[in-house]
């Protein structure tokens, strides 16, 4: 299994509070991704990173920001959490060339915004 951890695994927070989710990898892969998964929508990309301090938006980036100061860590911040951001969040990693170009996923974080 790819070495990817996410923290916290579960979180309940109140509307309007900031929340930061952490993804940590031990594979030294260049690419990292944040997705959210909601019933009926499958997996939707929030942001991704193609190197330290290099990030780009995905299809549902509004209300989210990311940072990557080290190869191994990719942080997702909900600047002011809303109930619509209640979801399961997945981090994924991929390498630069075969056989590492497919994405491998962390265990997910269930976030509930009340």
Partner 1 sequence: AQTVTQSQPEMSVQEAETVTLSCTYDTSESNYYLFWYKQPPSRQMILVIRQEAYKQQNATENRFSVNFQKAAKSFSLKISDSQLGDTAMYFCAFRAGNNRKLIWGLGTSLAVNP
Q: Which residues bind partner 1 (CB under 8 A)?
A: 31, 33, 40-45, 48, 50, 58, 88, 90, 92, 94, 101-105, 107-108
**What dihedral angle (degrees, nearest 10) is formed by the CA atoms of 12, 17, 18, 20?**
-10
Specify the residue, 25 or 103, whose C-beta has the smaller distance to partner 1. 103
Q: Where are the beta strands (DSSP E) in 17-97?
A: 19-25, 31-38, 42-51, 54-57, 64-70, 73-78, 87-94
Least CB distance from residue 62 to partner 1, whole Å? 17
Q: Which is nearer to partner 1, 45 or 75 (CB)?
A: 45
> CB of 17: closest distance to partner 1 in angstroms?
24
Of 38 and 79, which has the nearer Cβ to partner 1?
38
Compute the chain's Rg from CA coordinates: 13
Beta pairing partners, 22: 7, 75
Q: How far is the CB of 69 from partner 1 (least distance, A)?
A: 20
């Amino acid at each position: 299994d790819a070495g990817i951890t996410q923290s916290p695994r579960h979180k309940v927070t109140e509307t309007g509070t900031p929340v930061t989710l952490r993804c940590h990898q031990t594979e030294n892969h260049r690419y990292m991704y944040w997705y959210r998964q909601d019933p009926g929508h499958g997996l939707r990309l929030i942001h991704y990173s193609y190197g330290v301090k290099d990030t780009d938006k995905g299809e549902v980036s509004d209300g989210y920001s990311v940072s990557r100061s080290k190869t191994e860590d990719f942080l997702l911040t909900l600047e002011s959490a809303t109930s619509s951001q209640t979801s399961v969040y997945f981090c994924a990693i991929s390498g630069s060339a075969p056989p590492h170009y497919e994405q491998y996923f962390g265990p997910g974080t269930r976030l509930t915004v009340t």
